[in-house]
Structure 1
Amino acid sequence: MKPVIAIVGRPNVGKSTLFNRMTKTRDAIVADFSGLTRDRHYGDGRLGNREFIVVDTGGFEPDSTTGIVREMAKQTRQAVAEADAVIFVVDIRAGLSAQDHDIARYLRSIGKRVVLAANKAEGMVESPLLGEFHELGIGDPHPVSSAHGQGIRSLLEAALDPFGPEPDDDEEEADDAGARPIRLAVAGRPNVGKSTLINTWLGEERLVAFDLPGTTRDAITVPFERHGQQFQLIDTAGLRRRGKVFEAIEKFSVVKTLQAIADANVVLLLLDATQGVSEQDAHIAGYILESGRAVVIAVNKWDAVDAYQKELLQRSIEQRLAFLKFAPVLNISAIKRQGLGPVWKAIADAHASANCKMSTPVLTRLIQEAVEHQTPKRSGMFRPKLRYAHQGGMNPPVVIVHGNSLEHVTEVYKRYLETRIRAHFKLSGTPLRIEMRSSRNPFAGKAG
């Protein structure tokens, strides 16, 4: 799984600037989960071929006992608890403060890997001011400038040093998809019935289940077999062993959910029929789509709602999760063990679709037939000309179309092509990405 780095420090030392620099984006995932403060952000980062999750926290005052500051400190502690490494940010220009000492004392007590970042150090790499930060007892300070991007790479290398690169096994999976276990993540907001569903599977199917030691987050995968197919269940609820009660603080761990999604082949998104589709559900669904994972939607507690509520729920799914319209929607009751058989079939179909092999001749013929049926819209003097297509990747499938003036192909026409490709290959439960690549004009830029 991706390692998690938490950024902590007192207010106004540049934590958010460092977060944006590490993620190379300002479009961080905002965790709008119950009990999580709005200034706690999650984002993906990459250093070479090493991927990681970054958690930005609010200003940390470990000893605060009242008001919003106490709540922020509580959420920062949770971020540190689920992190593999912590970057402690201090301000070299403001110097050491009593609050820095309080934070350092707390970080020394948790036994996690902590890297000290002396921020705002542009032009001060050799400054004697760095020396005073040795008082914190956390090791050598790394002089960085979040605003100017200086020293960030060496800081990340120090934080990620114990964690090797993620194995790039997408191609291996594609070649050996049938023999490898299907990694299945069960995702959803708190109290939606994830634990009940998992325990129902473990009991009803008589699955072989045992705990595999995970990372420092104590993430657990549960191997099991059903009808000869091997699965690896990646649990987002902090599953320890069958039947054990889960702590509430683990149930809303955003990090665990993001890691499970990133590490999965297929994600089962569990909704609560009694609660409808919430913002939390939409956040998780959006991350699944961004990650390119195959997905099956299961509506739990279907037996607990009346006909009117069912109709409202179906309409809500169509509206709020419209971007997952390729995903099958199944109605289940985990506690009554109803509707679970079709879920397994949908999971298998989604995995097969995500690893579907599409030959170049077939794709090219599909594109040509689509153009014959409906030509792309003209843009000014140009009408896009689609010549041929081939597969550019799996899990999710990527189709690359070559031709001329393809930059003028509209999103509506891309969706039209996607619909025809999906129908031919019977793709279910997987995103499909279509890339347009225009041929270079050999006469461009030459005088006539």
Structure 2
Amino acid sequence: MIPVIALVGRPNVGKSTLFNRLTRSRDALVANFPGLTRDRQYGDAVLEGRRFMLIDTGGITGDEEGIDEAMAQQSLLAIDEADAVVLLLDAKAGLMAADHGLIDHLRGCSKPVFYVANKIDGTDPNIAMAEFYQTGAKQIYPLTATHGKGVRQLVGDVLDLFPDADAAGEGQDQAHGKKIAIVGRPNVGKSTLVNRMLGEERVVVYDQPGTTRDSIYINYERDGEPYTLIDTAGVRKRRSIRETVEKFSIVKTLKAVDDANVVVLVMDARENIVEQDLHLLGQVIDSGRAVVVALNKWDGLSSDQKNRIKTELDRRLRFIDFAEVHFISALHGTGVGHLYESIEKAYASATQSLQTRHLTTILEGAVYDHAPPMINGRRIKLRYAHPGGQNPPIIVIHGNQTDKVPASYTRYLEKIFRRELKMVGTPVRIEYKTADNPYEGKKNKLTKRQVDRKRRLVKFVKKQDKKRKKGK
């Protein structure tokens, strides 16, 4: 699983700035006054090919009242949720009483804590950090979050505590074979479906939303093929979330989606398709995971209700026409066995080996049938394509002016590649690379003979112009 790192500290010490720097986004609001961040903000980050999750928190002073008290409670919950904690201290303001209170709290938790002296720009780092060594920290990391100075060393040392999942195989006894995550809103029948797929009562099932609170990894075999089922907590709208435990559960669910090979999105057919279902589906597609849609509780519906739901599906799920849809009853087992067929096809499509020659042939055919548009009187040229990764399949296309390819043409190429490669259930990502012109900025230096010839030609043209004018 991806390590989770919490950024904590007093207000206005640069937590949100560091969060935006690492996630390469502007998701966290940044301004030069304290208390701007109130809720926990989650973001994915990548450093040297290693992924991790960051939690930006509100500042803690120790004397909060009213809304600030709830904000501080959110920050303390983020510490409990994280695998490691980064404590930011203000090098310009020095060590303050609020810092001591937070340090005492962190000493009582079992998480590794990294002490950071932020805002060292314009000062001697050794002098700026000297005061912070009275905290008893073995190492203080000098940092300038606004410019990124010292960030790489800090994050590198934090991630060294967590072996790379590919090398160390985190949870070797936790996940074997194809990983299938069962996700959906609360009380749509996810745990019931897991038990039905396993053939036993493996997880707790109860007629109450929020029964499942953690992501449960279950290893099993089917027809000699190893699988890992991941039963996840239901994900509701943010405004409907009340319990703190549920917030932790949603984070676990999103991490499970990222960890899975194929995601089975379960919907409640009796409630029709709601906005939260579409939002969850968008989350899965954005993560690049193969997806299978399962409409549960199909039994007991009348023919008119079934026809209306199918019409609604065709209309609202048009943006994922590559995903297969199943109508099932997890309680009675109707249609559950057919899920494996779609799961196998989606997994095979997401992990299939692609060849450069085949991809380039498909690209040439697509361009021949429907050429890219003209940009400023020049045609966009797409020359060749090669594979760039799996799960999801990534196709890298090289050419000229590729940064100006419209989104509509990218969608056209995605559909062509998916059709020709017979991909089912998986999104396809297309990346563009523009070739550099080796002659750009270089002038052709003429030889002495060429210069003399050019001079004679200019002289001849001028003489002809004079004759033409005299003739008139």
- 1:50 paired residue number: 50
- 1:120 paired residue number: 119
**How far apart, in 2, do the equivalents of 1:281 and 1:136 lie?**
48
**How far apart, in 1, do the equivalents of 2:274 and 2:118 lie?**
39
Shift of the 292–225 alpha-carbon distance from structure 1 to 2, 3 Å rule, reads: same
| Displacement of 1:324 | 3.4
- 1:12 paired residue number: 12
- 2:343 paired residue number: 347
- 1:195 paired residue number: 191
What is the aligned length?
A: 414
Q: 1:89-104 to 2 correspondence within 5 Å? A: 89-104=88-103
- 2:163 paired residue number: 164
| Displacement of 1:139 | 4.6
- 1:41 paired residue number: 41
Residue identity in the other structure for 1:53 = M
- 2:173 paired residue number: none
- 1:357 paired residue number: 353
**How far apart, in 2, do the equivalents of 1:130 and 1:72 lie?**
28
**How far apart, in 1, do the equivalents of 2:134 and 2:191 lie?**
46
| Displacement of 1:355 | 1.7
Shift of the 202–63 alpha-carbon distance from structure 1 to 2, 3 Å rule, reads: farther
Pick from 273, 288, 292: which aligns with 1:292?
Answer: 288
Shift of the 445–429 alpha-carbon distance from structure 1 to 2, 3 Å rule, reads: same
| Displacement of 1:310 | 6.1
| Aligned residues of 1:61 and 1:69 also touching (Cα < 8 A) | no
**How far apart, in 1, do the equivalents of 2:148 and 2:252 lie?**
29
Q: 1:252-291 to 2 correspondence within 5 Å? A: 253-273=249-269, 281-291=277-287
CA offsets 1:259-296 (integer angstroms, 9 cap, x no match) = 21222211222334455556654554344333322122
Shift of the 98–403 alpha-carbon distance from structure 1 to 2, 3 Å rule, reads: closer
- 1:109 paired residue number: 108
Match status 1:336 vs 2:332: yes
Residue identity in the other structure for 1:384 = I
- 2:407 paired residue number: 411
Shift of the 447–157 alpha-carbon distance from structure 1 to 2, 3 Å rule, reads: closer
Q: Secondary structure at the match of 2:323?
A: coil
Shift of the 377–315 alpha-carbon distance from structure 1 to 2, 3 Å rule, reads: same
Q: Secondary structure at the match of 2:44?
A: strand
| Aligned residues of 1:236 and 1:251 also touching (Cα < 8 A) | no
Q: Secondary structure at the match of 1:256?
A: helix
- 1:229 paired residue number: 225
- 1:428 paired residue number: 424
Q: Which of the pair has more CA radius of gyration? A: 2
Residue identity in the other structure for 1:234 = I
Residue identity in the other structure for 1:349 = K
**How far apart, in 1, do the equivalents of 2:219 and 2:198 lie?**
10
**How far apart, in 2, do the equivalents of 1:293 and 1:100 lie?**
42
Residue identity in the other structure for 2:78 = A
| Displacement of 1:185 | 2.0
CA offsets 1:384-435 (integer angstroms, 9 cap, x no match) = 3444444333222223344555555433233223222222222111111233
Residue identity in the other structure for 2:220 = F
**How far apart, in 2, do the equivalents of 1:223 and 1:7 lie?**
34
| Aligned residues of 2:214 and 2:249 also touching (Cα < 8 A) | no
**How far apart, in 2, do the equivalents of 1:295 and 1:160 lie?**
30
| Displacement of 1:53 | 0.7
- 2:80 paired residue number: 81
| Displacement of 1:182 | 0.8
| Displacement of 1:20 | 1.0
**How far apart, in 2, do the equivalents of 1:122 and 1:41 lie?**
26
Q: Secondary structure at the match of 1:72?
A: helix
- 1:391 paired residue number: 387
**How far apart, in 2, do the equivalents of 1:128 and 1:389 lie?**
54
| Aligned residues of 1:49 and 1:165 also touching (Cα < 8 A) | no
| Displacement of 1:442 | 5.0
| Displacement of 1:40 | 1.7
Shift of the 131–296 alpha-carbon distance from structure 1 to 2, 3 Å rule, reads: same
TM-score normalized by the length of structure 2 = 0.74
Match status 1:182 vs 2:178: yes
TM-score normalized by the length of structure 1 = 0.78
Q: Secondary structure at the match of 1:39?
A: coil
Residue identity in the other structure for 1:16 = S
Residue identity in the other structure for 2:15 = K
- 1:375 paired residue number: 371
Shift of the 322–23 alpha-carbon distance from structure 1 to 2, 3 Å rule, reads: farther
Which 5+ residue runs of structure 1 have no aligned equivalent? Answer: 30-36, 171-179, 208-216, 239-246
**How far apart, in 1, do the equivalents of 2:216 and 2:124 lie?**
42
| Displacement of 1:229 | 1.9
| Aligned residues of 1:93 and 1:120 also touching (Cα < 8 A) | yes
| Aligned residues of 2:215 and 2:253 also touching (Cα < 8 A) | no
Which 5+ residue runs of structure 2 have no aligned equivalent? Answer: 30-36, 170-175, 204-212, 235-242, 445-472
Residue identity in the other structure for 1:429 = G
CA offsets 1:323-354 (integer angstroms, 9 cap, x no match) = 43422232333333333122221111110111
